[in-house]
Amino acid sequence: MTKLFEYAPAPESRSVVDIAPSYGLFIDGEFTEAADGRVFKSVAPATEEVLSEVARAGEADVDRAVAAARRAFGPWSALPGAERGKYLFRIARIIQERSRELAVLETLDNGKPIRETRDADLPLVAAHFFYYAGWADKLGYAGFGADPKPLGVAGQVIPWNFPLLMLAWKIAPALACGNTVVLKPAETTPLSALFFADICRQAGLPAGVVNILPGYGDAGAALVAHPDVDKVAFTGSTAVGKEIARAVAGTDKRLTLELGGKGANIVFDDAPVDQAVEGIVGGIFFNQGQVCCAGSRLLVQESVADEVLESLKRRLGTLRLGDPLDKNTDIGAVNSPEQLARITELAEAGEAEGAERWTAPCELPTSGYWFAPTLFTGVTQAHRVAREEIFGPVLSVLTFRTPAEAVAKANNTPYGLSAGVWTEKGSRILAVADRLRAGVVWANTFNKFDPASPFGGYKESGFGREGGRHGLEAYLR
């Protein structure tokens, strides 16, 4: 049946961003080719169109970049905090001025909807730089001693799910504290980091303070293992996080890891149902579920499970999947064929293990990497879809009977990054949140971020905190 009120296409203009046919590495304030001349292609996940050819960093390039960062460290760390803050404020303002361009770029390179890059990613990126710009001249009052010192050169490796936002989480506190950085963006989403390199030049940031090395895992491994790197910060999968921890063990490098998650979203029988449904949808389908803190396990009290599931399915039926550049798109493309294969494999395992699969009725585009919003009911703690991080738009629904059982099930995971609690009863929120072993607990909301709020994990979700005053600690001694 055709809808009465069919929204006409409302695409954001691509012409606001000018993507060059090729990009180099950004080392010591200059764009340069890789030492061995290797390149790779960055592809738009929604269309499989090649966006640009990018230099691929290798070990020699890591050496060059770390050396440049080391040279820059002395003068940069000697600047008064207020001066470093000025650079960061300038960068934040330029990001705001160029936010439409960056939003379109991020949507093209990552596949996420423009609604999210425009309304979530870019405002948060700018806010993060503004926030840490404010700290740069107040470090003595952050609670880490009267005169805390920077660590030196930070080697930072970031994922593809929020390319520019993860860059901001890494670079803003590092620079505010007086460190210099070498950052490796993910191989599927290098472009916004390279645009950020241009912003650094526009802001007049001294050469070598920020170095960007697009590349693959080998470049990331070389960076974290580099003997002249003082600090390693990584956001990504738990498997890679463990490798990094092994590589760094026995050195005096400082390490923070922000890894996977299997967040529980707990809905009690007295929850505000309509808002809980919105929170569940936002919790697992924001950014196609490719969020480390996604609420990928829905724990719903058995007495209201049918009602909540019915509302949830009705709501999933209104999600609009398609062209990420269309301003009305809710669900965009999965970032890469590898990720799509992983999601598909785990969803099939869920079915094979006997969970009941339900998929929102929607048509998938013929090119690009797509996965329809999916939920599994009848899931138990023993199912793979309840234990493993899927990192896709797949929600596992489990039920519970009592608050104690909800807490036990929520905590019964090797991860501990995020959780949500939905109830109109304030005392229950406090009691449950207190017992949840997760770095972030949201009450009657989900996936809310603020630069002033620390973020990080328990257990295999990592250690160290990013954001807020706590986020400074990782970059100071």
Phi, psi (deg, nearest 5) at residue 476: -130, 155
| Least gap, CB of 442 to other proteins (angstroms) | 11
Lookup result for tokens 């062209």: 323
Nearer to other proteins, 117 or 235 (CB): 117
- C-beta separation of 210 from 175 below 8 A: yes
Residue 445 binding other proteins, by CB under 8 A:
yes
* Residue 150 vs 283, nearer CB to other proteins: 283
The binder of other proteins chosen from 36, 48, 306, 424 (CB under 8 A): 424
Which lies closer to other proteins via its Cβ, residue 55 or residue 120?
120
Q: Does 5 bind other proteins (CB under 8 A)?
A: yes
Tell me whether residue 293 is one of the annotated catalytic residues.
no
Residue 303 lies near other proteins (rule: CB under 8 A): no
Q: How many residues bind other proteins (CB under 8 A)?
A: 24
Q: Does 32 bind other proteins (CB under 8 A)?
A: no
Residue 258 annotated as catalytic: yes
**Least spacing, CB of residue 118 vs other proteins, in Å:** 9
Site for other proteins in 93-152 (CB under 8 A): 115, 119
- CB of residue 63 vs other proteins: minimum separation in angstroms? 47
- Beta carbon nearer to other proteins, 86 or 320: 320
Question: Which among 8-16, 352-360, 380-388, 392-400 is the span making contact with other proteins, rule CB under 8 A?
Answer: 8-16
4 binds other proteins (CB under 8 A): yes
Binding mask 307-346 for other proteins (x = CB under 8 A): -----------x--------xx------------------
- For position 450 contacting other proteins by CB under 8 A, the verdict is no
Which of the following is catalytic: 12, 106, 187, 258?
258
Backbone angles phi, psi at 143, to 5 degrees: 95, 15
Catalytic residue among 116, 292, 466, 473: 292
Contact string 260-289 vs other proteins (x = CB under 8 A): ----------xxxxxx--xx----------
Give residues in contact with other proteins (CB under 8 A).
3-10, 115, 119, 270-275, 278-279, 318, 327-328, 424, 444-445
- Positions annotated as catalytic residues are 258, 292
